Amino acid sequence: MNELLVVKNLKKYFKTKFGLVKAVDGITFHINEGETFALVGESGSGKSTTGHMIVGMYAPTSGEIYYKMNNISVHASKRPKNITREIQVVFQDPASSLNPSRYIKDIIGTPLKVYNLIRNSTEVEQKVADLLENVELPPELYMYRKPRELGGGELQAIAIARALSTNPKLIILDEPTSALDVITQAKIINLLLNLQKKHNLTYLFITHDLAVVRNIASRVAVMYLGKIVETAPTIELFNHCRHPYSMMLFSSIPVISEDEKNLKPKKITSIGEIPSSLSIPPGCRFHTRCPYAEARCKVEEPSLKHINSGHIVACHLAE
Ligand code: SF4
């Protein structure tokens, strides 16, 4: 499989008046062309900051991002235009990412003009109509409406149509279903899966919702306090996760059958809340919440180790 995106030892630190926030603290992964790679973890794990660096909203503090083997470890304004065109993003809350007072035609049409993908206004209208059809919204009903007149699922479909307008290869999906009810979530997930097949898209799916990950991702990386603690193919991770933090996340997913219940890891109850990124614990950064922590976990940071094909874990006990 071709590696479309490679991330190496990526870091993003923010200076604040309270101190240095280590939002992303040295992560490495790759995404193959045509796959869906999920980044999961609680709020504050650094997954969204990672997505924002890939799309170019922030330049990294250090480390590298390679897209089709081009080093793009800079802000989007310094990247070649053909690369910014190919990497698009869909945010969690379409109501705040779409201008409420503009017509849908103009919202979807703007990127077409920015990237010179149309020659005249007739072409804009035709192309926007095609994109609306692509996301299963009848153009005659939506072209001249405004975001404030629409519901959450319709808005997210329009945000997806806008992302598709530039013919992207990689789409960062940053919690795209978190603000939606369960039925609308399922519709958006089905839409994303259909579009992926139709356009050979590659997705980076960022979420805290593991039930959604099971239906969409081929591989998953679990993040905790700015680090990746476990990576594996989705089925392997759901059936045999090895890091206590992953076990904690996976054991709390609702199941619908006895078979699924039997496959779930033993229930792990962690102690307390995720610490602040301003004061990351020494040693294993999960030790303050880990029920299996030993003396060395408090002083010695575990490195990522391969335990079998494609399955990597950072835990002293998993070794
Ligand atoms: Fe828990 Fe120690 Fe493993 Fe960290 S290294 S997850 S504290 S057992």
Ligand 1 centroid from CA 60, angstroms: 28
Report pLDDT for 125: 92
Nearest-atom index, ligand 1, CA of 318: 3
Ligand 1 centroid from CA 163, angstroms: 40
pTM of the model: 0.92
| pLDDT tens figures, 291-300 | 999 999 999 9
| pLDDT tens figures, 246-266 | 999 988 776 656 665 655 666
> Quick check: CB of 244 below 6 Å from ligand 1?
yes
Q: Cα–Cα distance between 74 and 69 in angstroms, integer?
A: 14
Which of 242, 196, 234 is closest to 215 using CA atoms? 234
Phi-psi region of 139 (alpha: psi -120 to 50; beta: other; left: phi over 0): alpha
Listing DSSP states for 212-273 in one string gives HHHHH-SEEEEEETTEEEEEEEHHHHHHH--SHHHHHHHTTS--SSHHHHHHSPPP----SP
Summary count for the chain: helices (H), strands (E): 12, 12
> Quick check: CB of 293 below 6 Å from ligand 1?
yes
Ligand 1 centroid from CA 51, angstroms: 26
AA identity, residue 111: P
Half-sphere exposure of 229 (CA within 13 A, CB side): 28
Mutate to test the pocket of ligand 1, among 245, 246, 290 (most ligand atoms within 8 A of CB): 290
> Quick check: CB of 316 below 6 Å from ligand 1?
yes
> Quick check: CB of 315 below 6 Å from ligand 1?
yes
Report pLDDT for 319: 67
Half-sphere exposure of 185 (CA within 13 A, CB side): 15
In angstroms, the Cα distances linking 240 to 217, 256, 288 are 16, 19, 23
> Quick check: CB of 290 below 6 Å from ligand 1?
yes
In angstroms, the Cα distances linking 28 to 264, 269, 287, 312 are 27, 28, 22, 11
Ligand 1 centroid from CA 76, angstroms: 37
Low-confidence ranges of the chain (pLDDT < 70): 254-271, 319
The token pair at 35 is: 């796959």
Ligand 1 centroid from CA 275, angstroms: 15
> Quick check: CB of 286 below 6 Å from ligand 1?
yes
> Quick check: CB of 317 below 6 Å from ligand 1?
yes
Ligand 1 centroid from CA 137, angstroms: 48
Report pLDDT for 266: 63
Mutate to test the pocket of ligand 1, among 229, 270, 294 (most ligand atoms within 8 A of CB): 294
Report pLDDT for 272: 76
> Do 61 and 46 touch, CB atoms closer than 8 A?
no
> Quick check: CB of 297 below 6 Å from ligand 1?
yes
Report pLDDT for 178: 87
Nearest CA to ligand 1 atom 5: 315
